[in-house]
């Protein structure tokens, strides 16, 4: 059985959209767009954090393997071919936010290198972790903490 539509209902269906209807549609569209963009942005930041952690680990592995031969490089190829005196701390590469990673060699009380720490300043581009305050004694007492939104990796020389 078909439902018949009255003449007045047909007239309502033929009416053009009024400005309130247009604002409702536009508002709904903008709401959906805003939610979609916030989800995409959150996923992008999570990817950047994961990439920063991976790069910090990779750089720490390379620095330990190459016994730290440079103070500032942009790529691992430059790190592998860098000439010059060995340094105990410096900068290398660029994190996902465009700032260089910082690194520092941590020595024991006999002056032997024990740990390598590589840190990114993170999304806010402010280094919250003070590398000068990090020492072997702090590590031995499990007091090294990467602060704020910094991202890093601690690698043992052993």
Please write the tens of the pLDDT for every residue from 59-69: 888 888 876 55
Domain residue limits at 91: 34-156
* 2 inside domain: no
* 55 inside domain: yes
* 39 inside domain: yes
Place of tokens 């959150």: 42
pLDDT number for residue 55: 92
pLDDT number for residue 10: 62
pLDDT in tens, 20-56: 888 888 999 999 998 888 887 777 888 899 999 999 9
* 18 inside domain: no
């Amino acid at each position: 059985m078909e439902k018949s539509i009255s003449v007045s209902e047909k007239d309502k269906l033929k009416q053009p959209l009024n400005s309130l209807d247009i604002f409702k549609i536009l508002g709904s569209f903008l709401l959906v767009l805003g939610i979609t963009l916030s989800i995409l942005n959150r996923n992008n930041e999570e990817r950047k954090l994961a990439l920063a952690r991976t790069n910090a680990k990779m750089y720490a592995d390379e620095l330990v393997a190459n016994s730290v031969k440079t103070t500032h490089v942009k790529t691992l190829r430059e790190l592998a071919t860098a000439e010059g005196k060995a340094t105990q701390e410096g900068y290398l590469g660029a994190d996902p936010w465009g700032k260089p990673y910082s690194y520092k060699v941590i020595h024991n009380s006999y002056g032997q290198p024990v740990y390598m720490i590589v840190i990114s300043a993170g999304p806010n581009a402010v280094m919250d972790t003070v590398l000068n305050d990090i020492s072997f004694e702090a590590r031995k007492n499990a007091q090294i903490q990467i602060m704020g939104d910094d991202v890093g990796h601690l690698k043992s020389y052993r």
